[in-house]
């Protein structure tokens, strides 16, 4: 099994912790919320053994990467700048960018707005949605009305941080192994009312799914116990700022080869339509729906995701 090496890279004015394995064409792996480079542990090994240079940073605000204080430091412009700067720091002109959850949004936007640096793109769980017709928080308020919705709950600094940091092991166990608070189809989430917290009414399971070990959860918990949740939550607090700062996403198309992977039971499907991205990504090779899988797709179904990812990569021009 290929060794994973850890080092720190300076990019875009900050320091990012990076996990890296293998040599060859660069594949950049961008994680989502509330995760870590560790979410790509299975892909790092598989890509390295297949002849690729696989690099998975802790996104700014997470793990051992820098955590700037201002909320606006977590805008999509800054995150894309981190990704482009990471290529520069690694001495690479281009990369295939792969993302999951918020990392997927980053990957799509990097491909759309920096096509000279990202030669292909793979998104997981979150489709490419372009630019909303109005600021996202306004859109969510229209969509959900008086219903509780996690992204709106996250908007006030300090509130979700206090909830999650009160018992970090319980928080990560509930989110990864239980009913996640972003599952708007779950009865426990539908029963929430404004003023409730993210974890209100959610069970914390004693038994873990077969794809997740106690050691895995302990790693995530240790990372968030050290870093806190503020940086990761600030990503959600920039959605309206992104809408204002990136109007070009309204007309940008992604012309690079692309692949989208999502779990059949991923709750994101309930509020992020997949078919709409076909017009925005004309060279979308496939929308791969993995039967029975949920949101944490690259961890839940590592072998299937790795097979699809490697098959896609092998078709790309050298």
Decide: 232 and 62 in contact? Cβ < 8 Å. Answer: yes
Contact 160, 198 (CB under 8 A): yes
The pLDDT value recorded for residue 312 is 98
Reduced 3-state DSSP string for 148-201: CCHHHHCCCCCHHHHHHHCCHHHHHHHHHHCCCCCCCCCHHHHCCECCCCCCCC
Q: Is 42 a catalytic residue?
A: no
Of the listed 17, 31, 45, 295, which one is catalytic? 295
| Confidence bin at 270 (pLDDT 50/70/90) | confident
- To the query of whether residue 6 is one of the catalytic residues in this protein, the response is no
144 C-beta neighbours (distance < 10 Å), count: 16
**Superfamily of domain 5-315, CATH level 4:** Alpha/Beta hydrolase fold, catalytic domain (3.40.50.1820)
- pLDDT at residue 275 in the model: 84
Query: pLDDT for 162-220, tens place per residue?
Result: 999 999 999 999 999 998 899 988 999 999 998 899 999 999 999 999 999 999 999 99
- Average per-residue pLDDT in the chain? 96
Catalytic residue among 66, 101, 216, 266: 101
Q: In angstroms, rounded to a whole number, what is the distance separating the alpha carbons of residues 60 and 89?
A: 16
Residue 318 has pLDDT above 80, yes or no: no
């Amino acid at each position: 099994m290929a060794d994973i090496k850890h080092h720190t890279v300076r990019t875009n004015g900050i320091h990012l912790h990076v996990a890296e394995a293998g040599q060859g064409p660069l594949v950049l792996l961008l994680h989502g919320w509330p995760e870590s480079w560790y979410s790509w542990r299975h892909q790092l090994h598989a890509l390295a053994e297949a002849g690729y240079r696989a690099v998975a940073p802790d996104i700014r605000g997470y793990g051992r990467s820098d955590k700037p204080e201002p909320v606006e430091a977590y805008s999509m412009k800054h995150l894309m700048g981190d990704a482009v700067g990471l290529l520069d720091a690694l001495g690479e002109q281009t990369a295939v960018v792969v993302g999951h959850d918020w990392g997927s949004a980053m990957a799509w936007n990097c491909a759309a707005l920096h096509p000279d640096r990202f030669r292909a793109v793979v998104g997981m769980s979150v489709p490419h949605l372009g630019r909303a017709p109005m600021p996202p928080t306004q859109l969510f308020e229209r969509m959900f009305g008086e219903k509780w919705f996690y992204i709106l709950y996250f908007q006030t600094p300090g509130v979700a941080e206090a909830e999650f940091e009160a018992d970090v092991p319980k928080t990560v166990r509930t989110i990864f192994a239980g009913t996640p608070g972003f599952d708007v189809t779950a009865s426990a989430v539908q029963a929430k009312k404004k003023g409730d917290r993210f974890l209100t009414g959610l069970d914390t399971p004693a038994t873990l799914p077969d794809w997740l070990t106690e050691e895995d959860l302990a790693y995530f918990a240790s990372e968030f116990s050290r870093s806190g949740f503020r940086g990761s939550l600030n990503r959600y607090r920039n959605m309206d700022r992104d809408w204002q700062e990136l109007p070009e996403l309204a007309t940008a198309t992604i012309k690079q080869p692309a692949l989208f992977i999502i779990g059949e039971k991923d709750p994101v499907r309930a509020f992020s339509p997949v078919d709409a991205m076909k017009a925005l990504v004309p060279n979308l090779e496939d929308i791969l729906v993995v039967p029975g899988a949920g949101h944490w797709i690259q961890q839940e179904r590592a072998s299937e995701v790795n097979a699809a990812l490697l098959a896609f990569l092998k078709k790309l021009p050298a």
